[in-house]
């Protein structure tokens, strides 16, 4: 009798599991139908709330892979994130543009590099205790000589440094909104004008300077290139530095912002792993709910190497940074790095539509993307709107695939400073185009 009951219980449980599977993957659950109907009328950038389907990572997950076309040096500066009086007239971040001897042998050869900034001015006048505006500058220096082991190489050529593209955002409301404003400018009208400087051996010049008001956050990203790059050094400076041979660097702060350093990944690509089954926008079943998640897990996690590590004072902030990896530590979000996101699309017999929706898996997000059409879309729309975890998302674009051959859908996205790098791009099939 006991065995019979056990068998009956097992059969019942199996039937329940089978029914649940069929309901979720072969039927059209009401919540799935409601979401599909909503995204067909929503506006790009619109925040969609109260949809349970947006809160779960079911359906199919595309395995994410981070790649790039070429390694490009990138300096990111956000440590200390909050700049107090002890950071004034110091360096915040530093990198040597390249150590590749090819650029010494060919001084006219151009080297591309990028810089990202994320800092908040907290300097106050010691007497009045009122906030004090202080300039943040990106300074490029052409050194007179470089020592490599037992060899000394003399710099005998000028260097030309070009700021090709730059965008910046500021906020005194919430630092995350400075990052959003930076992303919006980057994808529409970059608001840091291009400029060119020429450096003789031994010279240092600022190629970008912004006087930051008190209690304001600055988020910026700059795309640059230079000749004679073997002899170039780049500094992010707060205030005024008179002698770069004896530059002091600000002590580390006690915030989560511990990302200052250099890495080789200024422009990156996020795509599914090779061999992943392409997305089929014509298949509207729930089983074809598809996610591509931006998640920083090994081996894709990137690292920054802080070339100022030995020059920073030992303090509680440095102890915190040491626990997070010390001189070489994870770049927890790829802040202010331009990503090309690539989605492989399956061949179809007829045109089909799908919706692209951003959902947040941890923390808050405010930023932007540039759709395949070239249109910039806020994530989400509104000057102080935020995307949170839970049953909500942001419609980024409705896409019509007209080719009947396999193709790829591409868009640009970046994670701005102040937001969290745990976002998923949800692909919602809408079926045959009407």
Q: In the chain, what percentage of residues exceed pLDDT 90?
A: 77
Tokens of 420: 């969290």
For residue 8, what pLDDT band results from cuts at 50, 70 and 90? low
The predicted structure's pLDDT at residue 259 = 76
* pLDDT(20) > 70: no
What is the average pLDDT across 337-353?
A: 92
pLDDT confidence of residue 324:
85
Is residue 296 scored above 80 in pLDDT?
no
Position 21 scores a pLDDT of 54
Lowest mean pLDDT among 13-27, 52-66, 114-128, 352-366: 13-27
Q: What is the pLDDT of residues 152-211, one digit of tens each?
A: 999 999 999 999 999 999 999 999 999 999 999 999 999 999 999 999 999 999 999 999
The pLDDT value recorded for residue 13 is: 57
Q: Average of pLDDT values for 11-22?
A: 54
Mean pLDDT, residues 361-376 taken together: 94
Is the C-alpha dihedral spanning 361, 370, 35, 276 positive or negative?
negative
pLDDT at 295: 77
Q: What is the rounded distance in angstroms from the CA atom of residue 11 to the CA atom of residue 3?
A: 12
Whether the pLDDT of residue 401 is over 70: the answer is yes
Confidence of residue 24 (pLDDT cuts 50, 70, 90): very low
Query: Is the pLDDT reported for residue 26 higher than 60?
Result: no
Residue keyed to tokens 């965008």: 167
Residues 72-79, mean pLDDT to the nearest whole number: 94
* Nearby residues of 115 by Cβ (< 8 Å), 6 or more positions away: 74, 75, 76, 77, 138, 220, 221, 222, 224, 234, 236
Residue 2, pLDDT score? 66
Residues 115 and 77 sit within 8 Å (Cβ to Cβ): yes
CA angle at 308 for the pair 305 and 314, rounded to the nearest 5° = 110
Mean pLDDT lowest among 98-102, 264-268, 374-378:
264-268
| Mean pLDDT computed over 2-25 | 58
pTM for this model (two decimals): 0.90
Per-residue pLDDT tens digits for 226-275: 999 999 999 999 999 999 999 999 999 988 666 789 998 889 999 999 99
% the chain with pLDDT above 70: 92
7-18: average pLDDT? 59
What pLDDT was estimated at residue 297?
Answer: 67
Is the per-residue pLDDT at 304 higher than 80?
yes
Q: Which of 114-128, 298-312, 347-361 is least confident? A: 298-312
Mean pLDDT of the chain: 92
Kindly indicate the confidence band of residue 10, based on its pLDDT and cuts at 50, 70 and 90. low
User: How far is it, in rounded angstroms, from Cα 350 to Cα 402?
Assistant: 7
- Residue 383: predicted pLDDT: 87
């Amino acid at each position: 009798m006991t065995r019979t009951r056990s068998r009956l219980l097992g059969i019942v449980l199996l039937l329940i599991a089978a029914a649940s599977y069929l309901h979720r993957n072969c039927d059209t659950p009401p919540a799935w139908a409601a979401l599909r109907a909503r995204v067909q009328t929503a506006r790009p950038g619109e925040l969609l709330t109260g949809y349970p389907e947006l809160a779960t990572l079911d359906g199919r997950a595309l395995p994410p892979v981070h790649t790039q076309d070429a390694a490009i040096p990138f300096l990111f500066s956000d440590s200390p994130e909050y700049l107090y009086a002890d950071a004034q007239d110091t360096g915040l971040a530093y990198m040597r543009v390249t150590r590749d001897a090819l650029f010494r042998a060919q001084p006219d050869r151009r080297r591309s590099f990028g810089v990202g900034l994320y800092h908040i001015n907290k300097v106050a006048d010691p007497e009045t205790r009122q906030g004090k505006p202080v300039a943040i500058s990106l300074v490029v220096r052409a050194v007179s000589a470089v020592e490599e082991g037992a060899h000394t190489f003399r710099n005998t050529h000028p260097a030309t440094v070009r700021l090709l593209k730059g965008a910046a955002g500021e906020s005194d409301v919430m630092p995350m909104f400075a990052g959003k404003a930076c992303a919006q400018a980057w994808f529409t009208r970059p608001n840091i004008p291009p400029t060119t400087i020429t450096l003789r051996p031994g010279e240092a010049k600022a190629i970008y300077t912004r006087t930051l008001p008190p209690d304001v956050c600055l988020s910026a990203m700059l795309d640059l290139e230079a000749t004679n790059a073997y002899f170039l050094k780049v500094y992010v400076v707060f205030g005024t530095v008179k002698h770069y041979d004896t530059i002091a660097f600000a002590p580390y702060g006690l915030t989560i912002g511990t990302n200052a350093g250099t890495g080789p990944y200024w422009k990156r690509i996020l795509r599914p792993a090779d061999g992943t089954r392409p997305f089929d926008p014509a298949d509207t079943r729930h089983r074809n709910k598809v996610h591509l998640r931006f998640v920083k897990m090994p081996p894709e996690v990137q690292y920054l190497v802080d070339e100022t590590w030995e020059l920073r004072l030992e303090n509680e902030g440095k102890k915190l940074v040491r626990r997070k990896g010390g001189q070489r530590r994870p770049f927890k979000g790829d802040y202010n790095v331009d990503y090309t996101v690539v989605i492989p699309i399956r061949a179809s017999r007829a045109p089909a539509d799908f919706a692209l929706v951003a959902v947040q898996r941890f923390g808050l997000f405010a930023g932007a993307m540039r759709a395949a059409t070239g249109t910039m879309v806020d994530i989400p729309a509104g000057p102080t709107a935020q995307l949170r975890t839970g049953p909500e998302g942001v419609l980024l674009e409705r896409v019509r695939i007209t080719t009947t051959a396999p193709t790829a859908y591409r868009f640009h996205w970046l994670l701005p400073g102040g937001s969290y790098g745990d976002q998923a791009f949800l692909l919602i099939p809408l079926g045959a185009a009407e």
